[in-house]
Amino acid sequence: MDAPPLPAVATIGLTRLYGAITALDSLDLTINQGDLFGFIGSNGAGKTTTLRILATFLAPSAGTAKILGHDVVQDADAVRHVIGYMPDFFGVYKDMEVTEYLDFFGACYKIPTVQREKTVADVLELVGLTEKRGAIIGALSRGMQQRLGLARVLIHDPRLLLLDEPASGLDPRARIEMMAILQELQRLGKTIIISSHILSELQTLCNRVAIIEKGKLIYSGPVQGVREQMSSGLIYWVLPQGNPAAALALLQALPEISAAEPMEGQIKVTFANPDTDPSILAETLVRGGVKFTGLWEDELGLEEVFLRVTRGETQ
């Protein structure tokens, strides 16, 4: 029988104190290999602290963190070989050329000279910067510098990417392109942890998310799971065919329903009791002879989920 694969990240009781402030409070987190994992939290919630600990940049005050089986404190050198960390700042040498910059970091990762040239060309192509290979970094736009940061992260072909706000400050097209690159990287087998405030994008991009507030983990699991967990089961939508007024009149007459209101050709129905069987809606409409083409439960967006589970408290 095969042993289960090592988790990409496993933290147990991870704590980090800054003086009297507890930035991370006993964080228990497991991220599987191949996940595209969204890390969500308000400003000052502890996301960057977690990523910096995982990147071996910061030592935890208590608890342990392992990356692909390597402890981030005891075995930091091994961890640095398997991770690629992109902080929320560029960290570029503005007077260097794009290839010089990547060549420098390639040398830092001890990639042999011959292989380095090919690797630099490959990562530049992957992030779409091949045409800018000879440009001075200071002259690049913010989006391009962000892409260069991603190219730097990929230069040594890490298995785990830690990306802190990779899409912040990018225009919509650049954001979409960045997300496409991340999906491609996931397809190539990389595990990606991405911290972001743009929840609508994480919702479509990530298969799992963690929500953190005041250094404490509030939720960790599949995106759909948190939606279902947060869903009240009270609101349903009906899409009537033809005259919506007849459907509205039928639904408003139901005693189980506290409110039914038309909205842009649809009807929003709110049950008084979440335990009510929603099939009552279909039965009523069919019995009343009103045709409808859709009936579904109101689905919460990640932003709404985030607002419901957090209180917006920062440290």
Partner 1 sequence: MGRGFCRATTELKIGKLTTFLGGIRPVAQRELREGARRPINHWLRVGSAAAGTIMLCAIVADYGRPAAELGSWLFAGLHSLLLGLICLIVPGLAADSIAREKREGTLGLLFLTPLTAGGIVAGKGLALAIRVLTLWLAVLPVLTIPFLTGGVRWFDALTAMDLEFCAAVLCLGGGLLASSITQERNAAFALALLFGVAFVLLFGWLFVFWLLLQFGGLAVFAQLDWRMCVEESAMLFTGVSSRQFGGWAMLNTPTALGRGFKSLLLASPPVALLFFYVIVRFAAHRIARSWQDRVPSLRRERWIKRISAPLFRGWFARGMRRTLDHNPIAWLQQYSWKARLAKWGLCLAIVLLEGVFPHREWYEIQNTQGILLWMLAGVATFVGVNSFMQEKRSGALELILITPLSVNTIIIGRVQGLWKQFLPSVLVIGICFFISGMLSHGWGNSSWTDFLYISIVVTGSFLALPVFTTYFALRVKNLFAAALLTWVAMFIAPAFGGLAMDNQNASDLGICFGIFCGDLGFALLACFLLRHSLSRRIYSF
Chain contacts with partner 1 (rule: CB under 8 A): 55-59, 77, 80-81, 83, 85, 87, 89-96, 100, 103-105, 107-110, 113, 139, 152
Q: How far is the CB of 109 from partner 1 (least distance, A)?
A: 6
List beta partners, residue 7.
none
Q: How far is the CB of 242 from partner 1 (least distance, A)?
A: 58
Tell me the three state secondary structure of residue 95: coil
Tell me the three state secondary structure of residue 147: helix
Nearer to partner 1, 66 or 208 (CB): 66
Residue 110 corresponds to which amino acid? Answer: K
Quick one: three-class SS letters along 43-84? Answer: CCCCHHHHHHHHCCCCCCCEEEEEECCEECCCCHHHHHHHEE
Nearer to partner 1, 113 or 279 (CB): 113
Nearer to partner 1, 97 or 177 (CB): 97
Neighbours of 161 (CB within 10 A): 22
Q: How far is the CB of 214 from partner 1 (least distance, A)?
A: 24
Nearer to partner 1, 86 or 290 (CB): 86
Nearer to partner 1, 111 or 285 (CB): 111
Q: How far is the CB of 81 from partner 1 (least distance, A)?
A: 6
Q: How far is the CB of 60 from partner 1 (least distance, A)?
A: 13
Q: d(Cα 216, Cα 14) in Å, to the nearest integer?
A: 10
Q: d(Cα 170, Cα 198) in Å, to the nearest integer?
A: 11
**Listed residue (44, 46, 17, 4) closest to 29, CA to CA:** 46
